[in-house]
Amino acid sequence: MSVTATYYSYVGETLTSMTKSTRRRWWWTLWGLLAASAVGIAVYSAQTYLVGGVERNQIPLNDLFASHYVTIAVHAVPSSLALLIGPFQFLTRIRVRYPKAHRIAGQIYMVSIVLGSIAALFAATYSVSGFSVQVAFYILTAAWLYTLYQAYTTIRRGEVQLHRIWMIRNYALTFAAVSLRIYLMTGLALQERFFPSLTFDDIYHASAWASFLVNVLVAEYFIVQRTLKPLARRQKAKGHTSRAASGTAVRPTGQGPEPEPVGACSTPTGGG
């Protein structure tokens, strides 16, 4: 190999290594921000309803439903636990080294969401924030339970990759608790300076919808970029390896049809 070829090979390997390292740092930074915000909101919300009581509740209560605060508290506490557990369930190192802990944490996560969802239905039904907010929370709760069900059934069938995809979707909905507060605070800050005509209800209604719709879009992008595309590349590489092993020559495009595998029949085979 010439000196020039060696140099370019070294540069290529270095750039690839730097790219992987940068990408790894980027995703760890994102995970850290997600985990920190999730832990912060989870601890704040849980202690508000476990210790603070009605006096510290910031959600308007329905005077016609005496147990409205109870349903909000029952929703908030287990949901906060799920919010707290979620980020650590995605760490490969924990899943591989401590599979039993991963399973137990996953079971606690699922039970927490079921409890939080049931309470959320009652809390939304008696919400005094308006019909738009009720519909938003109904849709969020239904999607929350559906994605949890899909995550549970896929892991029971041993479909780990699909289970991971459904858990990403589910946690994106769980994370709506954080997103709602971010959008609400941002909206109120912008209202004071740029949109004085907007009311608190306007901002809250928009935040309620954006809290999970934006999260769903981000989750799907993450699934495509971090799961489906790498999987497709691996399958493509595996296909090339299989073809090479079976005797199929790999020819550049524009060089005519590829030759049949050694010993292959001329009729097409079935299957996808």
pLDDT in tens, 45-80: 877 777 666 655 566 666 666 677 788 888 889 999
* Strand intervals (E) in the chain: none
256 lies in a domain? no
Q: Is residue 54 part of a domain?
A: yes
Give the pLDDT confidence of 214-264 residue by residue, as tens digits.
Answer: 999 999 998 888 777 777 777 777 666 656 556 554 444 444 444 443 333
Residue 59 within a domain = yes
Q: What is the Cα 146 distance to its own chain's centre?
A: 14
User: Per 3-state DSSP, what percentage of the chain is helix, strand, and coil (rounded to 5)?
Assistant: 80, 0, 20
CA dihedral 146, 152, 156, 161 (to 10 degrees): 90
CATH code (residue 182): 1.20.120
Is 177 part of a structural domain of the chain?
yes
183 exposed, middle or buried (CB, 10 Å; 0-12, 13-18, 19+)?
buried
If you average pLDDT over every residue of the chain, what do you get? Answer: 80
**Domain, as residue range, for 124:** 30-236
- pLDDT at residue 135 in the model: 95
The number of domains in the chain is 1
What's the pTM value of the predicted model, to 2 decimals?
Answer: 0.74
Count CB neighbours of 20 within 10 A: 10
| pLDDT confidence of residue 48 | 73
Is the pLDDT at 26 greater than 60? The verdict is: yes
Q: Is residue 115 part of a domain?
A: yes
Q: Is residue 110 part of a domain?
A: yes
Give 165-174 pLDDT, tens digit per residue: 999 999 999 9
Residue 194 covered by a domain? yes
89 and 131 Cβ atoms separated by less than 8 Å:
no
The answer to whether position 94 is within a domain reads yes
